[in-house]
């Protein structure tokens, strides 16, 4: 008998429907995103590219529910994330999404091990210490478990961030310029590691980048210019 696929496997990972974002400034209303619409299937790797200020990081924040749109919908595995309040979105994000930030966003008062453990504890998952330890060993930081972020290099901090993002086995990984704060050689190592972890996990990967080489490693590219989607 063929195993029945789960909803996470058969439902699009992301559906974006008529998504727009406007903000008011001293000159009036500024349109950051204008009627964005696309879908991403489970297991895809997708790059979001565009010039600085094109709206790509704003879009990624909306996909994660970290920001709210002016109009439109974002569905993650069939669930409209903006039908939830802020607490509900946080709970959904913890369940479905791993996020890798350009600036790492590690908690300075926690060790590498504690930063990764926290992701598991927030999900209420057991055996947090051994799982976090194994994940850090997988990203090459087995000897740096008890070091604090300020004592780690930029590349090491991003490895901790990758471990934190993947340790809960989220079905969706979002990455915002994950090598933007790193030198070229270190960044290449992080790119290789991120794609390796993603292949092993079978996650859907969506990343924002201005690096054509990184975009080429993805199966598809979404290009944004002046808040509009040019290709998908």
- Name the least confident of 54-58, 104-108, 194-198, 227-231: 227-231
pLDDT at 4: 41
Say yes or no to pLDDT of 97 above 80: yes
Q: The pTM is what?
A: 0.89
What percentage of the chain exceeds 70 in pLDDT? 95
Closest to 196 (Cα-Cα) out of 151, 162, 148: 162
Handedness of CA 70, 72, 78, 80 (dihedral sign): positive
**pLDDT tens digits, one per residue of 24-82:** 888 888 899 999 999 999 999 999 999 888 999 999 999 999 999 999 999 999 999 99
Please say whether the beta carbons of 9 and 15 come within 8 A: no
Say yes or no to pLDDT of 174 above 60: yes
Q: What is the CA radius of gyration of the chain?
A: 18
> Which ranges of 167-210 does DSSP label H, i.e. alpha helix?
184-201
Say yes or no to pLDDT of 11 above 90: no
**pLDDT tens digits, one per residue of 117-149:** 999 998 888 899 999 999 999 999 999 999 999
pLDDT at 231: 63
**pLDDT tens digits, one per residue of 162-171:** 999 999 999 9
CA separation for the pair 156, 49 (Å, rounded): 26
Extended beta strands in 63-167, E state: 71-76, 79-80, 97-100
Say yes or no to pLDDT of 10 above 80: no
Q: For residue 7, what pLDDT band results from cuts at 50, 70 and 90?
A: low
Which distant-in-sequence residues (6+ apart) come within 8 Å of 125 by Cβ?
Answer: 131, 168
Residue 99 burial by CB count (10 A; 0-12/13-18/19+): exposed, middle or buried? buried
Closest to 135 (Cα-Cα) out of 113, 157, 102, 107: 113
- Which tokens go with 50? 């565009």
């Amino acid at each position: 008998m063929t195993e029945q696929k789960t909803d996470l496997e058969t439902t699009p990972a992301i559906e974006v429907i008529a998504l727009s974002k406007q903000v008011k400034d001293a000159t009036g209303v500024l349109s950051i995103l204008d009627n964005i619409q696309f879908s991403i299937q489970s297991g895809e790797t997708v790059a979001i590219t565009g010039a600085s200020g094109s709206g790509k990081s704003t879009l990624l924040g909306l996909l994660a529910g970290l920001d709210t749109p002016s109009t439109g919908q974002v569905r993650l595995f069939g669930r409209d994330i903006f039908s939830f309040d802020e607490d509900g979105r946080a709970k959904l994000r913890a369940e479905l999404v791993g996020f890798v930030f350009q600036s790492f966003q590690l908690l300075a008062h926690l060790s590498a091990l504690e930063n990764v453990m926290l992701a598991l504890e927030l999900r209420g998952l057991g055996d947090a210490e051994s799982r976090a330890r194994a994940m850090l060993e997988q990203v090459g930081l087995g000897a740096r478990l008890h070091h604090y972020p300020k004592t780690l290099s930029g590349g090491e901090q991003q490895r901790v961030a990758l471990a934190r993002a993947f340790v809960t086995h989220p079905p969706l990984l979002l990455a915002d310029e994950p090598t933007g704060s790193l030198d070229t050689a270190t960044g290449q190592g992080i790119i290789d590691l991120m794609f390796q972890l993603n292949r092993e996990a079978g996650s859907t990967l969506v990343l924002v980048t201005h690096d054509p080489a990184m975009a080429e490693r993805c199966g598809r590219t979404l290009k944004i210019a002046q808040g509009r989607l040019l290709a998908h």
